[in-house]
Structure 1
Amino acid sequence: MEVTEDIWELRLYVAGKTAKSVAALSNLKRYCEEHLKDKYVIEVIDLLVEPQLAEGDQILAIPTLVKKVPEPIRKIIGDLSNEEKVLVGLNIRPAKK
């Protein structure tokens, strides 16, 4: 059976450069580099610039991270400072050391 390497498609919804939004992006990048090296894409959507995009993913709070691929789609709200909660929420297995 062939194993394909999934590319994780992550979408981070923010509202401007608030402290929480900046922290969420920085935390997310750190986790991705540590656990998904070269296997992820982060799309940052600023709802101050493109508010209409909130509807598609039913965004009710900011910042919100949406994992689009691989399925199932998952959402995590907040600054993503709790690494364990984020990894469990995204269903990422810690990288083998």
Structure 2
Amino acid sequence: MVRRWRVTGSDVDESASEWDLRLYVAGQSAKSVAAFANLKRFCEEHLPGRYRIEVIDLLLHPQLAKGDQIVAIPTLVRKLPEPMRKIIGDLSNRDRVLVGLNLEPRPGAGSSR
């Protein structure tokens, strides 16, 4: 199953770049579910209204791993904005995700490790 979410709203800044993210998972494993929940939270906090998440279940579509050279799951692939970046794991380390996505932490926001 390939699931897609597109988040938009009236407060969307049309001039801002849209983020195209792919999350490769293996079914409903605990790490896969955690990775999606963590990703959605990061996007809502840092990219409200400017992101699209595509979830690709490699148990159902293993052939799709080849295109993005997926070797471990869960893996997040940032397709846009370029350059492409990858983060492996459940995305629970906030600082690692922010650095991996090239996002700046909000001033005064605490970090969790």
Same-fold status (TM-score > 0.5): yes
Aligned to 1:33: 44
Q: CA deviation at 1:93?
A: 2.3
- Across the aligned residues of Structure 1 and Structure 2, the Cα RMSD in angstroms comes to 1.3
Q: CA deviation at 1:64?
A: 0.1
**Structure 2 unpaired stretches of 5+:** 1-14, 109-113
- Whether the 8 Å contact between 1:34 and 1:95 is mirrored in structure 2 is no
**Structure 1 unpaired stretches of 5+:** none
How many residue pairs end up in the alignment?
94
So what's the TM-score if we normalise by structure 1?
0.92
> Once the two structures are superposed, what CA deviation does each residue of 1:26-78 show, in whole Å capped at 9, x if it has no partner?
00000000000000000000001111000000000000000000011000000
Larger RCO (CA within 8 A; separation ≥ 6): 1
Identity among equivalent pairs (%): 69
Question: Greater helix percent: which structure?
Answer: 1
Does 1:76 pair with 2:87?
yes
Runs of 4+ in 1 over 4 A off after TM superposition: none
So what's the TM-score if we normalise by structure 2?
0.79
